[in-house]
């Protein structure tokens, strides 16, 4: 069996705006009755085919509740393992993995506690370009950003202070993530892959938060529309697929289906 670990938003699932030039798609996420995310029908069929030769592991920064809104991974393809909260939570057969919870908490031991975040960074959190903030699973923070009002110098100061406390940060469009440095997708994926015997590990993602996961894999794929490509261009340390939206997802899934060992045909 192969192992396929993949980011979700803008890698396997897309908004109506980002899915690309296709009408052959299905809504796989609703919020308050409104369509949020889509997958192409061909992509869904390819993922189902892939389960015959690979473990498919969704890996997302979403909270548990946000992940559970994605109907495809709750009904059509129910994975043995799933990673949510940027690696903070691992689910095995639908149940939260208590052993991983313990490992995560131990990794926080020498870092600024999440309970101290608001007090420590009060001044920065009150910057006018931060609209709202969300505590995710008592593990990290996401702050909504007004891109028009963003001051990069002020944001840079915030990031430096976060780093001094053993936290990392990412500006991802209109979202700013602040996380303990040990809370990574690759750490959780490393744990999961040790549980699943596999001949080849393939990973996919679009953002800088996915890069570590892709780099620990035997093969990593990133799309033209993503942050990794925007940052590195075709010199990216993973395989760049010059396609966007669902066309990217369909292309890599077709490639993964042909992989034997770790050689791409």
Interval 106-132 mean pLDDT: 95
Q: What is the mean pLDDT of the chain?
A: 95
Identify the H or E element spanning 260: none
The pLDDT assigned to 178 comes to: 97
pLDDT over 50 at 169, yes or no = yes
The pLDDT assigned to 127 comes to: 95
The pLDDT assigned to 14 comes to: 96
pLDDT over 70 at 263, yes or no = no
The pLDDT assigned to 200 comes to: 96
The pLDDT assigned to 151 comes to: 95
Rounded Cα distance between 112 and 233, Å, is 35
pLDDT tens, residue by residue, 43-72: 999 999 999 999 999 999 999 999 999 999
The pLDDT assigned to 21 comes to: 80
Q: Residues near 122 by Cβ (< 8 Å), separated by ≥ 6?
A: none
Sheet holding 81-84, edge to edge: 81-84, 89-92, 95-96
Question: In sequence order, what are the beta bridge partners of 135?
Answer: 141
- Band the pLDDT of 261: cuts 50, 70, 90: confident
CB-based burial, 37-68: b 16+ in 10 Å, e otherwise: bbbbebbbebbeebeeebbbbbbbbbbbebbe
The pLDDT assigned to 260 comes to: 80
Rounded to a whole number of angstroms, the distance between the first and last alpha carbons of the chain is: 17
Interval 79-99 mean pLDDT: 97
pLDDT tens, residue by residue, 175-184: 999 999 999 9
Q: Residues near 209 by Cβ (< 8 Å), separated by ≥ 6?
A: 61, 86, 170, 172, 177, 185
Q: What pTM did the predictor assign? A: 0.95
pLDDT tens, residue by residue, 4-47: 999 999 999 999 989 988 779 999 999 999 999 999 999 999 99
Identify the H or E element spanning 27: strand 25-31
Phi, psi angles (nearest 5°) of residue 42? -65, -40
Interval 230-252 mean pLDDT: 95
Interval 200-204 mean pLDDT: 97
The pLDDT assigned to 225 comes to: 94
- Band the pLDDT of 173: cuts 50, 70, 90: confident
- Band the pLDDT of 265: cuts 50, 70, 90: very low
pLDDT over 90 at 262, yes or no = no
């Amino acid at each position: 069996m192969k192992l396929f670990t993949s980011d979700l938003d803008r890698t396997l699932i897309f908004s109506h705006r980002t899915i690309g030039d296709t009408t052959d798609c299905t809504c796989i996420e609703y919020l308050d009755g409104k369509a949020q995310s889509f997958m192409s029908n061909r992509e869904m069929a390819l993922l189902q085919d892939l389960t015959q030769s690979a473990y498919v592991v969704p890996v997302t920064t979403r909270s548990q509740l946000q992940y559970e809104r994605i109907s495809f991974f709750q009904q059509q393809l129910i994975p043995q393992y799933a990673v949510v909260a940027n690696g903070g939570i691992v689910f095995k057969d639908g149940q939260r993995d208590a052993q991983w919870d313990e490992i995560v908490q131990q990794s926080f031991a020498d870092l600024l506690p999440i309970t101290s975040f608001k007090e420590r960074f009060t001044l920065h959190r009150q910057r006018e370009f931060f609209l709202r903030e969300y505590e995710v699973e008592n593990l990290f923070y996401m702050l909504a950003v007004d891109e028009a009002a963003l001051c990069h110098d002020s944001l840079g100061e915030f990031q430096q202070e976060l780093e001094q406390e053993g936290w990392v940060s990412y500006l991802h469009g209109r979202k700013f993530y602040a996380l303990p440095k040990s809370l990574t997708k690759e750490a959780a994926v490393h744990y999961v892959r040790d549980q699943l015997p596999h001949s080849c590990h393939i990973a996919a993602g679009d953002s800088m938060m996915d890069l570590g996961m892709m780099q620990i894999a035997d093969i990593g794929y990133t799309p033209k529309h993503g942050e990794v490509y925007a940052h590195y261009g075709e010199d990216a340390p993973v395989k760049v697929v010059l396609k966007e939206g669902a066309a990217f997802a369909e292309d890599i899934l077709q490639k993964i289906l042909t992989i034997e060992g770790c050689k791409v045909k």
